Structures are given as C-alpha cells and as structure tokens.
A and B are shown apart, each in its own frame.
Chain A
Amino acid sequence: MNFMSAVSVALLALRVNLLRSVLAMLGIIIGVSAVIAMVSVTEGAKRAMEERIASFGANLLVIRPGSSAFGGRRSGAGTATFLTDADVEAIRNEIPGIVAVAGEMSGSQPLVVAGENWTTNVQGVHADYFEARDWFVESGRAFTPAEVRSGARVIMIGRTVATELFGAADPLGQTVRVGTVQMEVIGIMAPKGQSSWGTDQDDTVFAPITTTRSRLLGYQLGVRDPVFTIYAEVAPGTNISHAVADLEELLRIRRNIQPGAEDDFSVNNLAEFIRARNETETQLGVLLAAAAVISLLVGGIGIMNIMLVSVTERTREIGLRLAVGARRADVRNQFLIESVVLCVTGGIAGMAIGVAGAYGIGNLGGFPVSIHPAIAGIAIGAAVFVGLFFGFYPAHRASRLDPIEALRFE
C-alpha cells in the first residue's frame, strides 16, 4: 500500500469518528497551544528588555574606584582611591576598541533664576560623556572639549530642570546661578525618562568637569583632577571581555597594585547584567520545556488510548484487510499513519490557537509578542514524534491480530 492511499485511508477513518478524533487531539491541541503562547509572550518580553538595555548602552563600561573599606588595599599616605583625568586619557590612548571615554563627578547644587529655584544633581563631565552614554542635546549645543579644558561656565539642563526653572519659556541663553556661580544654559538634553532603578534621569544638569571641580564641588580630594566615575564606550563588535581585561590590567599598573593583590576599582558592564538575566531565562526555558514535555506526554497518552479503542473497534476490518492481502506491515503502517495524522492535525490546530492566544494575551496585557518561525517546525516535529511514539503500540497490536479470530470478532 503506498503512502498517499494510506494517508487518505487514515483521514477517512478519522472523519468517520470526527468528534472522537477531535477529543483525542484535545490534549495535543492544548499542550501545543499553551507552549506556543507562553514561548511567544516570554520571547516578546525578552526582546523588549533587550531593546531597553541596548538604549542604555550594552557596550558601556563603568569604572569606579573600589570601596576603601574592603580589599586589603595598601593605601599609602597621600594616595587616594579616586580615578583621575590622567586615567581617562590613558584609557583613551591605550585601550583598543574604545570609542568614547569620559570622567564624571557630581554633587547636589541649588539652582536659582529670577523667582525660581530648584536643587538637583550637577554632573561634571568630559565632552565625550554624551557619546559614551548615547545621550545628546535636543536643542542648543553641547559644550566642547575646549570649553572643558578652559572651565567654561556653561551648562546643559535636563528636561525636568528646564520645566521647573523656566516653565514654558526658552531656557537657551539664560543665566542660572548654580551654587554660587553664574552659568549660561547652552543646551537642553533629550528626555531620557526613568532609569532602571526608578529615578528621573531628566532631573539633572551637566557642566564641564573642570568647572564643577574648581567652582562647585570644592572638595580637597587629595588627588589631582579627580573623577568619581569613568564611562567608556566600546566599539560595536569588540570583544567586551577582552576590553575589560585590558582595562583592568592598565588600571592595575597605573594604580600600582602588586600581583596577587585585589583590584581597588571595579569595571562593570551591562553585559554581565545581561548574562545574569539570560541565566534566568534559561531556567524559564527549562520550565517551559518541562511543561511542553508533560503536556505532550498527556496528549500522547490520550492518542494511545483512542488508537487502542480504534483498533479494538475495527478488529473485523483488520481481519478483512489481512484476508484480502494486507501484510502485517501494511496494517501497522495504516494505524501509525492514523496516529500521526491525528497528532499533526492537533499540532497545527494547537499552533494556530497558540499564536492567536499569544497575540490575545499581548493585546490584553500590552506585552510585546514575538513569534519565532521555527516554532511551526518544532510543533509539527513534536506532533509527528508523539504520533509515532504513542501510536506504535496500538499499531503493533493491530498488526499482530490473527485474521481468523479478527474476522470472527463481534
């Protein structure tokens, strides 16, 4: 018996008992659709998260001095843990693959214009900072490297500060007293929204780091040109772990750390955060796979049950087929094909329901949904496997029937 006629015989047999066939498929349908819906929704959430991280800058390395209370650091007299402008320049010149690097130091300062005041965090930064953070002015201009070198009295303000101090008026060109210094507003930053830890990133002011150091944050930090934090952006496609290793080596030498001693600084990067998140996702994936396996197992048992019933019911038919010349393999294949057709039909229906369900959940909850094309192949493949695996025993049983007994079966 050739394959196509076997499939048409199988389809006929399934149509004859349509309701029962649908009920038998139900386990597969529910299993496949649930798994597809879950996978699509989690995949969508993952994509959205990745986009948010990319907007912050996955290639950004953040370097901070180590906490002086830890690490067994040998702090000789007069040496501070602060990073400096010299470190910034060294990184810029010696680490391959660095696109932008900038130091930052900040502190809270009162801002005053005629009739309004507002206290906010003033960040003194190098000109490269905006490139590294991928954050640019919306109107006006950013300060230049020359202005940073000369300690110009210019600021760029965040959207929140602009609103608080100027309302609807145009802040550009206005003078604001920052702490005790009169400074000119030369730019307004593009809105950035909330940070991932919930603070308003637009409630800030940027000034050249030199100006901040000399006029605003008059600390005696015991080190020349200190910075609190260095931001370094790695060129896309650069191996981040290599860049991190190079950076660490450079800073160990510059900070005179003995071999074997611990670093007194830290290099953090969002890639690590992404890796941690990926681990969570792997665990979620394992859970989803377990749910898929269990639902297919339950579905498969349903298929096996219905196939056993079908074999018993059609004993006379099997006897007849054997009597008119069907080989045992023909009978076995017929029931195997029926079982596979049953499962694949269920798989396709489940896939359709799952995709619809995923979009439904996405619309209802406002989640993004991402449907991977490979999922169709996986669903069908799993259905074929379940059909063959759970259909084998009933089919084998059918093929072992004695034609005489089978023909006499009432």
Chain B
Amino acid sequence: MAPPLIECRDLTRVYRMGGGEVRALDGVSLSIEEGEYVAIMGASGSGKSTFMNLLGALDRPTSGSLRVAGAATESMGPDQLAAFRNRTIGFVFQQFNLLARTSAEDNAALPLLYSGLPSAERKKRARARLTQVGLGDRMDHHPSQLSGGQQQRVAIARALVNDPRILLADEPTGALDSQTTVEVLGIFDRLNAEGITVILVTHEQDVADHARRQIVFRDGRVLEDRR
C-alpha cells in the first residue's frame, strides 16, 4: 500500500510571544490519504489554522515530523518550500486575496508566473481553469466587477492552475452568502470526485458535512476524528 499523502507524528508548534509560550499545536498525529475530503473544525485558537499552515508549508513545526506528498517540509529551505507550495498545494482563502485591478485571467495565472512557464502557456492554463469553475465568460473582468462567489471561483481557479495534489481551503465560504456557499462547495465536491485531495477549514457544521471526514481540534490537540 502507498504511504499516506499526509502523515504527521507528534506534530507540535510553539509560539513564543511576550515572554510566554503558546502551544498552538500539541503533539498531533494523523494521516490523510490521497483523494480524501477532509473538514478541519474547531473554535478559534484551537490550532486548526496552525495545522493548515503547516500542511501548506507556510510554517515549520517546532518538533515532530510531517510528510506531505513524500516531502519532509521541516527540513526544507525557504526556496524549496516556495517551489513545494507552488507545485503541490493550492490555497483558497476566506478573503479571496485576489489582486485588485487585475483581470480574472491574470489572477488565476499568478502561480504560473513563479513556475517559469511561457506567457502563452500561462494564459492557456488559466483560461482552462476559469472555464472549469464556470467563469469562461468573465476572463477579462476585474475583481471589483465580480460578485463574491465569482471572486472565490477565480481564487479556486488560481489554486488549481498548477495541478496541485492538495487543495487547502481556509474558511472558503466565510465571506459568502448561503446561495454562493452552495455553489462553491459544489465545486469542491466535484474536484474531490475528480481525485484531488480537498482539505477545508471551517467552523460551520453544514459546510463540514460536505466532507467525508471531519477532524475537530481543541487546545492544539485532535479532539475528534470521525469519518
């Protein structure tokens, strides 16, 4: 059997602030297989965002081990981490984080700028992904000309443009109304059905219900892990 896509043992992240220590993550061990659809839940301060940052190689653990897609991110330098994020991870954020005054196409193509592809190829892939999320007719629109749901779909197209193995979504529906929440979650469902591992952080139960596995954090530990 192939090793799990994500495997962590005794994962700990300690922040030092104002002389004291905050154990944001305290000895977490779990594994996630390729193709899973996982919701990570917990109150604020429970450690779920720290866990996400570690999975996304935005941060490195204080101790413990973490293997993501066969890579030990704790031993990588900053440039290796950047390349890893570029190729392996697709990020979706609560606030979309699109570049203002930049077309949907250019926004979606942003990660390709850092993978050294020629301009024509970047355009082609961005257009394909935008079409995939249903924005084929909005390529040249700027974020200010798009609704919240459309903006989040541009962000999803951006996350997908590099064919990542893992889609990490941090409260992807937090800024959306219920109608568009359903649309966006529908896209995640479909992407997962196509084989991409989807991990989303949320505190809403009905969002989490889309996932087939729910991991609940509290005080830096896994409280519950139900499938």
Contact B110 A407 (CB under 8 A): no
B132 at the interface (CB under 8 A from A): no
Contact A320 B58 (CB under 8 A): no
Contact B91 A324 (CB under 8 A): yes
Q: Which residues of B contact A325 (CB under 8 A)?
A: 82-83, 85-87, 111, 114-115, 162
Contact B102 A12 (CB under 8 A): yes
Query: In angstroms, how far is the closest chain B Cβ from the Cβ of A403?
Result: 5
Contact B101 A327 (CB under 8 A): no
Nearest residue, chain B, Cβ from A15: B101
How far does the alpha carbon of A67 sit from the alpha carbon of B58 in the complex, in Å? 90
Contacts A12-B102, A323-B58, A327-B78; is A2 near B87 (CB within 8 Å)?
no
- The count of chain A contact residues (Cβ–Cβ below 8 Å) is 23
Q: How many A-B residue pairs have CB under 8 A?
A: 64
Contact A404 B111 (CB under 8 A): no
Q: Pick the contact of A16 from B56, B58, B59, B100 — CB < 8 Å?
A: B100
How far does the alpha carbon of A322 sit from the alpha carbon of B95 in the complex, in Å? 16
Contact A322 B82 (CB under 8 A): yes
B18 at the interface (CB under 8 A from A): no
Give B27-60 interface residues, CB cut-off 8 Å to A.
53, 56, 58-59
Contacts A320-B97, A328-B78; is A5 near B91 (CB within 8 Å)?
no
How far does the alpha carbon of A319 sit from the alpha carbon of B96 in the complex, in Å? 12
Contact A404 B85 (CB under 8 A): no
How far does the alpha carbon of A9 sit from the alpha carbon of B101 in the complex, in Å? 12
How far does the alpha carbon of A9 sit from the alpha carbon of B106 in the complex, in Å? 10
Contact A317 B78 (CB under 8 A): no
Q: Pick the contact of B86 from A2, A5, A324 — CB < 8 Å?
A: A324
Query: In angstroms, how far is the closest chain A Cβ from the Cβ of B163?
Result: 13
Contact A404 B59 (CB under 8 A): yes
Q: Which residues of B contact A16 (CB under 8 A)?
A: 100-101
**Extra inter-chain contacts (10) besides given A321-B110, A321-B114, A325-B86, CB under 8 Å:** A12-B101, A12-B102, A320-B93, A322-B58, A322-B82, A325-B87, A327-B79, A327-B82, A330-B114, A407-B93
A interface residues with partner B (beta carbon < 8 Å):
1-2, 5, 9, 12, 16, 316-317, 319-330, 403-404, 407
